[in-house]
Amino acid sequence: MQLSREGDRREGILLRQSRGWFQVASMGHEPLAALAYLLRPDDYLFPYYRDRALVLARGVTNYELALAYFAKRDSSSGGRHMPGHYSSRKLNIFSVATPTASQCIPAAGAAWGLKMDGRDSVVVCTVGEAATRQGEYYEAVAFGLQENLPLIMVVEDNQYGISTPTVRHNPYRLKVFHEDHVVFVNARNPDEVYAKGQTAIARARQGGGPTVLWCELDRLCSHTSSDDHRVYRSAEEIAAMTLRDPISVFARRLIESGQLDADEWRRWQVEISQQVEDEYLRAEAAPDVEPERVMDWLYGDPVAATPPPIKPGGSMTMVSAINDTLRAALAENERVIMMGEDIEDPKGGVFGLTKGLSTQFPGRVVNAPLAEATIIGTAVGLAATGYRPVFELQFIDFVSTAINQLMTQVASLRWRSLGEWSCPMVLIAPCGAYLPGGSLWHSQSNEGIWAHIHGLRVVIPSTPEDAAGLLWTSIHGNDPVLFLVPKHIFRKRLSVSEFPAVPLGRCAIRRTGTDVTLVTWGNGTELADEAAERAAREGISVEILDLRSIEPCDWEGVAASLAKTGRLVVMHEDSRTGGFGQAVVAEMTSHVERWNHFLAAPQLVARMDVHVPYCPTLEYTVLPTVEQILAAIRTVMA
């Protein structure tokens, strides 16, 4: 506790000396360190940024925290993350993300993984009380109760969300939650933290399920170095709070009871102060970050693609190819697990992608609650415990309620932890329009958005062979993959003679040509093929490139075709503004050697910048058409 306090004090001094950029202190939260002494090495801790004392007690060194303060090369994030955002794979301390409560559902996912392993390990997840009004906190607690998980949620209630008093917002005071699973703790007293934490953890180890430890304490400092709590706290409140300082009160009690010698306590304080000063001086002189390595750990090492071990069945659909590939993956690796809404038999998913799988693999293909953040967030925790989640969203349109997990946890985890933590998972999501009646929330593709989420792979197959090959490669890779399945063509029957290996980042030439390069993907391949046929009747030879993989994208493959034809048309069904087609055009025109290939200005065919309407007449008004593609081909040939 004193080591944590002294580290906070030292960082405050350094910041005032302009030796640093930011500080988030933990003063007043130190008694929670007692929980660390109840944990075993095989337990997991999902902390938040006010847990300096807790992670020190878990085994993180003060020197490591000093490296993080100075954003040094050898810190846990290599200078990529703010101080106070702890991470240690060897200590099972999950990498902290700034968005409040975003760690809660992954913690529940990790607890789920431990339970499925048959272990008596536990997960402790901490969160500030202001963040308990986040929907993801509710989803995590609900999932923990639903599955009876070994999960202890530690709510650190310091009565403030930055400057906002939280007493009126507390969900337990509002009777939103039943108090049967809540234990209230005077967390200013480390002995009470230890005793009540011991009971909760023992209960979880014995299969008794989750507990919420609601810990009342004080934040003895401003929210961060960017805040001044004297603006919104009275002098009287600060003075009263200081009298409750848990370190001073606890030390005094130990001295009065004869358990601690006063002179020895003063000597410890001096020694700890000197230790901290020395370690921060050493950290300040440690090697700085290496700018040339800023792209390292954004993605995992590539894995060689192998053919999916499924047999062609004459004519097949993407749906059947995906189903066969999922069956093969489940049979091959018992760590592969699936969850999604309605994916269990007898329904087998709203589109039948998982038909028969829950019957063949009971307990490993399971229905999810109607909660997309839970679907994606639990996958993060499962991946942390060694599982291979292959989860399904009913429609990509519904990912908006889970975008926090996708961006905050899934995509940035490897990069922000220097590869110590990662999230190899596959998220299957039907996408796209061209099916009358889809309307606003059953017609989206939005690959331009997903391509912008750094650390996320994005693929869109358009044939059974590619659906199987890309899915098999994704399941065996080291990265999170968003696997988009275009609904308009996923039941289209095509002749399949073999299932070859399909690597990510390699486009497919669907039709060879010499006059125009037509780049597309997903549902666009069907329209492109018809447009190319009609162009051929006019004597125009069109080469169709199916990107298949949006991230990574085969820029060299597109450039090679452009070098042959000198003309470029890009078609996508996403909106024009900000769509990935604009990135294709920009990539091809922004390099001098590629620019020199152009015989005409490139053309982009895309959806109008408007939502997809319900009425079929309106839907086909806003979507790109064969006629528009053909007009673009004629334009570049003019």
Task: Tell me the per-residue pLDDT of 249-259, one tens digit each, with 9 for 90 and over.
Answer: 999 999 999 99
173 pLDDT more than 90: no
Residue 478 has pLDDT above 90, yes or no: yes
Q: Is 344 exposed, middle or buried (0-12, 13-18, 19+ CB in 10 A)?
A: buried
Per-residue CA distances from 486 to 105, 482, 490, 522 (Å): 29, 13, 6, 6
Joined together, the tokens standing for residue 630 give: 């053909």
Distance between terminal CA atoms of the chain? 76
Structure token digits, residue 432: 């796209």
Q: Residue 115 corresponds to which tokens in the numbers above?
A: 């339970």
Residue 180 pLDDT > 90: no
Residues 6 or more apart whose CB falls under 8 angstroms from that of 252 comprise none
Give residue 571's pLDDT: 98
Q: Provide the CA 325 distance to its chain's centre, in angstroms.
A: 25
The catalytic residue positions are 442
Predicted local distance difference test score (pLDDT) of residue 170: 87
For residue 253, count other CB atoms closer than 10 A to its CB: 13
Percent of the chain at pLDDT > 90 equals 97
358 has pLDDT over 90:
yes
pTM (predicted TM-score): 0.96
φ and ψ at residue 90, rounded to 5 degrees: -65, -25
Architecture per CATH, 2-287: 3-Layer(aba) Sandwich (3.40)
Closest alpha carbon to 394 in 424, 361, 426, 349: 349
Q: What pLDDT is attached to residue 463?
A: 98
Residue of 29, 1, 23 lying closest to 158 (CA atoms): 29
Give 193-250 pLDDT, tens digit per residue: 999 999 999 999 999 999 999 999 999 999 999 999 999 999 999 999 999 999 999 9
Mean pLDDT for the stretch of residues 586-612: 96
pLDDT, position 176: 83
Identify the pLDDT of residue 367.
Answer: 98
Cα–Cα distance for residue pair 257/16, rounded to 1 Å: 39
Query: For the chain, where do the domains classified as CATH 3.40.50.920 start and end?
Result: 508-637
Give ∠ CA 17-20-21 in degrees, rounded to 5: 115
Residues 6+ apart with CB under 8 A from 155: 126, 127, 128, 129, 132, 212, 213, 214, 215
CATH topology of domain 508-637: Rossmann fold (3.40.50)
Instruction: State which amino acid sits at residue 71.
Output: A
Using an 8 Å Cβ cutoff, are 98 and 49 in contact? yes
Q: State yes or no: pLDDT of 178 exceeds 90.
A: no
Q: Where in the chain is the domain with CATH 3.40.50.970?
A: 2-287, 314-496
The first and second tokens of residue 498, run together, are 């073999």
For residue 492, is pLDDT > 90? yes
> Residues 414-459: pLDDT tens digits?
999 999 999 999 999 999 999 989 999 999 999 999 999 999 999 9
- Name the pLDDT band for 177 (thresholds 50, 70, 90): confident
* Fold classification of 314-496 (topology level): Rossmann fold (3.40.50)
pLDDT of residue 407: 98
Buried b (16+ CB within 10 A) or exposed e, 76-102: bbbbbbbbbbbbbbebbbbbbbeebbb
